[in-house]
Amino acid sequence: MKRLLFLLPILGFVGLIGVFGVGLTHDPKLLPSQLIDRPLPEFALPGIDEGSEQNGGFASASIRGEPALLNVFASWCAACPQEHPVLTQIASEGVPVYGLAWKDEPADSRQWLEKWGNPYIKVAADQQGRTAIDLGVTGVPETFIVDKAGRVRYKQIGPISPQEWEGKIKPLLAQLRAEA
């Protein structure tokens, strides 16, 4: 009995190490999204500049008809400048890219886009963060790949790197374009 009492904490410790070891093998960027293969949540948001066609806002229904990206960004985001050249490249290749300024003042978003360039077809302001909650956003940047029917097909957490664009997202968009 005393032997069992001595072994019990050791076995518990070994079990705990095993659980942590398995946890370390999982990629934290691969958080499953409840939205995959479901319609984009409905929203209609004002823009960061209502006097501008490009920065005048949009609704979820706007992201239909062809595969597109919905990129969540903010002027205060430290990683967004890293991703921005890739988004500019994606837009230059003819992919529709929509921007969602999350918990950001419209003036700050406008200033940020003036500094870095605007790759977005439309930019909406989610100042309260309600739409981001519906999307399951955990931080910025995050990007959603939306098919032509308006369903979310992929969620990228963190900045899109050139390798992720070429290796994952670009092939997925080609596949979505080919679907009937």
Residue 150 maps to which CATH number? Answer: 3.40.30.10
- Calpha distance 131→135 (Å, rounded): 6
Strand stretches in 27-107, DSSP E: 38-39, 44-46, 57-59, 68-73, 97-102
Asked if residue 11 belongs to a domain, the reply is no
Asked if residue 18 belongs to a domain, the reply is no
∠ at Cα 103 (126, 38), nearest 5°?
50
In contact, 170 and 160? CB cutoff 8 Å? no
Give the predicted TM-score (pTM) of the model.
Answer: 0.81
Q: Domain total for the chain?
A: 1
Asked if residue 148 belongs to a domain, the reply is yes
In contact, 60 and 44? CB cutoff 8 Å? yes
Q: What is the pLDDT along the chain (180 residues), one digit of tens a residue?
A: 777 677 777 777 777 777 767 666 655 555 556 788 899 999 999 999 877 777 779 999 999 999 999 999 999 999 999 999 999 999 999 999 999 999 999 999 999 999 999 999 999 999 999 999 999 999 999 999 999 999 999 999 999 999 999 999 999 999 999 985
Lookup: tokens for 59: 């609704």
> Parallel, antiparallel, or unpaired: how do β-strands 97-102 and 123-126 relate?
parallel
Asked if residue 12 belongs to a domain, the reply is no
Q: In terms of residue numbers, what domain contains 87?
A: 31-178
**HSE-up of residue 41 (Cα within 13 Å, Cβ side):** 14
Asked if residue 154 belongs to a domain, the reply is yes
